[in-house]
Structure 1
């Protein structure tokens, strides 16, 4: 047998490759679910996060969104600008931090994100149904990966 440059004999033994495949499949289907709302996945995640923090009575800033979503600050800024141009969010002076802008949803943004959340959550339930009663354990493992591999 020829020497291999890979540590795995079969590609399905590679956790990274499997994660990449599942992520691509999931993202492709999420993109289809969001087409109706004319939102990219990044736009959806930022709008949903703004809505989440607003419901939990938190002041929403660009840095908070970037940290929470793991989207780099420059991309977060670009996507927020696009959402503002679409009339889905507004920015105003922050109550306590003069360097920051408080970010909120417009009425149109709130209406769209409420519908999109329902669609995405329905899709997620269908996509992950094969995990059966192991979803909580799967989520715990994902959280472990996130907490142990913080980007600098």
Structure 2
């Protein structure tokens, strides 16, 4: 029962979608970090490398702008993480054929080898983690609605 001095619009924390999402996200990210430790990758590094691989398989030219838009990682963070991945020897940048301001981003052989292993690990973890959901497809559809708000 809501009392007049309750600042919140809910009676129980579990009634707050935002709080539940925050809790699930933190739990999921903590476990993903553990899974990626064996590859010496942060979650952001993994997401960018997996996205480079994914977009390349889709025959798309990969630039920093494309990656930032695809992953929803802000451009400055994308740039910083790409620099680190370059220093690790996982990516290479080459001149864009038509846009002199842009660089094409590709995984190196070393990068492809590591991301293929990491993707299997993350997909296995995700399959187990989200197996508790009754309808994963509907859940994903609902999440997509939230992503397209901005």
Question: Using the alignment, how far apart are the partners of 1:68 and 1:56 within structure 2?
Answer: 13
> What's the CA shift for 1:90?
0.2
Which digits, 9 at most, give the CA deviation of each residue in 1:54-97, with x for residues without a partner? Answer: 11111100000000100000000000000000000000101121
Give RMSD over aligned pairs.
Answer: 0.8
Q: TM-score, length-normalised on structure 1?
A: 0.95
Who is 2:143 aligned against? 142
Question: Using the alignment, how far apart are the partners of 2:133 and 2:6 within structure 1?
Answer: 33
Structure 2 stretches of 5 or more lacking a match?
Answer: none
Figure out how many residues of one structure are paired with residues of the other and give that number. Answer: 148
- Structure 1 ranges of 4+ moved more than 2 A: none
> What's the CA shift for 1:2?
6.1
Structure 1 stretches of 5 or more lacking a match?
Answer: none
Question: Using the alignment, how far apart are the partners of 1:106 and 1:19 within structure 2?
Answer: 36
Which digits, 9 at most, give the CA deviation of each residue in 1:19-39, with x for residues without a partner? Answer: 000000000000000000000
Who is 2:131 aligned against? 129
Q: TM-score, length-normalised on structure 2?
A: 0.97
